């Protein structure tokens, strides 16, 4: 979620509540620059829902990116240093960690799908697409368990599973890349949702069309 967008929403709402002293405005109401009166309770409730959805979507994005970080430790182990030492072909636990993260991503996307329908069918479709991509990744990893589900999973196989910039992506990396791209599209829609929430507070209502009759 864009922190600037979130800050803008909260600041705008604060200004409406604290500075709106126009005559005729009742408690719990505010007016836009054109004098249009809005119900702060309804708008703030909608904004809270939007922010909660955006935060949950951001959690998914962070989890997806965390698999990239795990991929950087393929064939590595810690040592008494701030750098990792080489330990080739012992990646079974690392793959299991990536698999568990993917399960968490899927569960969070399922929950997001229930909330997305409150905003729009288009947003729900994008959440569902990301969710289907997460399931494709999980199924691919499970299908490759003979190579990946053992302590001695090789560096080459691990990279093919979770390193999305690897030359070969035959054990899951292709599906993981699809998930990353789908979540990126989803986050673009979330940004649009946040911008819409800001505009609802700040954009004047459209002027009524004049009658064409004389």
Region 196-200 average pLDDT: 79
Cβ contacts of 164 within 8 Å, gap of 6 or more? 68, 71, 173, 176, 177, 180
Distance CA 112, CA 114 (A): 5
Burial class of residue 149 in the structure, from the number of CB atoms within 10 Å of its CB (0-12 exposed, 13-18 middle, 19+ buried): middle
pLDDT tens for 126-184 read 999 999 999 999 999 999 999 999 999 999 999 999 999 999 999 999 999 999 999 99
| DSSP element (H, E) containing 39 | strand 37-39
What is the per-residue pLDDT for 196?
A: 87
What is the per-residue pLDDT for 178?
A: 99
The pLDDT-based confidence of 211 (bands split at 50, 70, 90) is very low
Task: Give Cα 48 to chain centroid, integer Å.
Answer: 16
Region 107-120 average pLDDT: 96
Tell me which of 107 and 5 has the higher pLDDT.
107
Burial class of residue 147 in the structure, from the number of CB atoms within 10 Å of its CB (0-12 exposed, 13-18 middle, 19+ buried): middle
3-class secondary structure, 86: strand
What is the per-residue pLDDT for 3?
A: 59
CATH code linked to domain 49-193:
1.20.120.240
What is the per-residue pLDDT for 58?
A: 97
Cβ contacts of 198 within 8 Å, gap of 6 or more? 5, 8, 9, 12
Distance CA 29, CA 58 (A): 31
Q: Are 95 and 160 a contacting pair, CB within 8 Å?
A: no
Q: Are 31 and 38 a contacting pair, CB within 8 Å?
A: yes
Check whether 98 has a pLDDT greater than 80. Answer: yes
Query: Distance from first CA to last CA of the chain, Å, rounded?
Result: 50
CA dihedral 151, 154, 158, 163 (to 10 degrees): 140
Query: Mean pLDDT lowest for which of 112-121, 181-190, 199-208?
Result: 199-208
Helices (H), 20-144: 40-71, 92-116, 121-143
Proportion of the chain above pLDDT 90, given as a percent:
67
Its sign, for the CA torsion 41, 45, 50, 52, is positive
């Amino acid at each position: 979620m864009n922190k600037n967008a979130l800050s803008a929403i909260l600041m705008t709402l604060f200004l409406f509540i604290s500075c709106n002293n126009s005559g005729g405005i009742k408690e719990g109401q505010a007016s836009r620059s054109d004098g249009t009166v809005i119900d702060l309770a309804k708008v703030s409730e909608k904004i809270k829902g939007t922010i909660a959805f955006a935060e949950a979507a951001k959690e998914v994005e962070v989890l997806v990116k965390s698999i990239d970080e795990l991929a950087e430790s393929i064939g590595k182990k810690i040592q008494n240093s701030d750098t990792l030492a080489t330990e080739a072909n012992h990646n079974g636990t690392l793959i299991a960690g990536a698999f568990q993260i993917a399960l968490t991503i899927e569960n969070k996307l399922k929950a997001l799908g229930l909330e997305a329908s409150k905003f729009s069918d288009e947003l729900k479709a994008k959440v569902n697409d990301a969710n289907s991509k997460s399931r494709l990744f999980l199924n691919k990893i499970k299908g490759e368990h003979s190579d990946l589900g053992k302590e001695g999973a090789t560096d080459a196989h691990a990279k093919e599973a979770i390193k999305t910039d690897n030359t070969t992506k035959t054990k899951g990396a292709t599906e993981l890349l699809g998930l990353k791209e789908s979540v990126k599209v989803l986050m673009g829609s979330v940004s649009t949702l946040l911008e819409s929430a800001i505009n609802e507070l700040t954009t004047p209502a459209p002027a009524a069309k004049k009658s064409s009759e004389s």
